[in-house]
């Protein structure tokens, strides 16, 4: 009960940060979706070749995913979350944390926007099985890590520069522990991406073959 109370208190105290990071991410998604319209015909053609090639590979029954994909996916998540953790250790890292959140939104918005723009509802279906499921966990995890990093960075400012002395080590342990928990959660996401996501993608691929991007 005490832990639940502390969690609610933490969420309440850092609500402005949660709102700011979330809005920043949404802005990134919108910006990424709008970027699709800025692509030149040559760029769209090049991307179409890559997408069509992937669809053909899946449709032909070639295997993808598995152990190699697991570690590649987890390594990517680990680099992202690790960079946020490192940036949280310094005051100058704050704007870079916000930039990472915005860029994550841009990547997702661009990917979904391109698929939907080129394949209509079939692209939306493909995005639903290949992009949406894991990001339902990845996005909240990154938001929580970002808020924790920002909160710790601001705590350093108060502790060192505003003469509000406090115990830095316990706060650092809590900050690092929360990052470790999110890392474990993202390992679960990598498992999903490596073993379950390919199955879902193979399920919708036959519908995409008939509507390959021209």
- One DSSP character per residue, the chain reads -HHHHHHHHHHHHTHHHHHHHHHHHHHHHHHHHHHGGG--HHHHHHHHHHHHHHHHHHHTT----HHHHHHHHHHHHHHHHHHHHHHTTSGGGHHHHHHHHHHHHHHHHHHHHHHHHHHHHHHHHHHHHHTHHHHHHHHHHHHHHHHHHHHHHHHHHHHHTSS----HHHHHHHHHHHHHHHHHHHHHHHHIIIIIHHHHHHHHHHHHHTT---
Q: Which pTM value belongs to this model?
A: 0.86
pLDDT > 70: what percent of the chain?
88
For residue 82, pLDDT over 90 is answered with yes
Q: What is the pLDDT of residues 150-195, one digit of tens each?
A: 999 988 887 766 555 557 788 899 999 999 999 999 999 999 999 9
For residue 72, pLDDT over 80 is answered with yes
Residue, of 214 and 115, whose pLDDT is higher: 115
């Amino acid at each position: 009960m005490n832990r639940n109370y502390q969690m609610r208190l933490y969420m309440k105290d850092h609500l402005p940060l949660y709102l700011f990071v979330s809005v920043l991410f949404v802005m990134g998604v919108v910006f990424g979706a709008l970027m699709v319209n800025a692509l030149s015909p040559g760029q769209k053609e090049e991307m179409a070749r890559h997408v069509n090639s992937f669809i053909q590979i899946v449709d032909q029954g070639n295997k993808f995913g598995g152990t190699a994909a697991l570690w590649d996916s987890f390594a990517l998540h680990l680099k992202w979350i690790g960079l946020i953790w490192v940036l949280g250790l310094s005051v100058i890292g704050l704007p870079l944390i916000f930039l990472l959140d915005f860029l994550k939104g841009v990547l997702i918005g661009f990917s979904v926007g391109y698929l939907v723009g080129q394949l209509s509802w079939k692209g939306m279906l493909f995005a639903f099985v290949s992009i949406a499921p894991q990001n339902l966990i990845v996005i909240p995890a990154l938001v929580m890590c970002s808020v924790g990093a920002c909160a710790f960075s601001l705590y350093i400012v108060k502790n060192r520069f505003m003469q509000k002395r406090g115990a830095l080590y316990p706060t650092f342990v809590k900050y690092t522990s929360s990052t470790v928990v999110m890392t474990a959660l993202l390992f679960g996401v990598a498992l999903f991406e490596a073993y379950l996501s390919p199955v879902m993608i193979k399920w919708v691929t036959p519908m995409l073959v008939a509507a390959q991007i021209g």
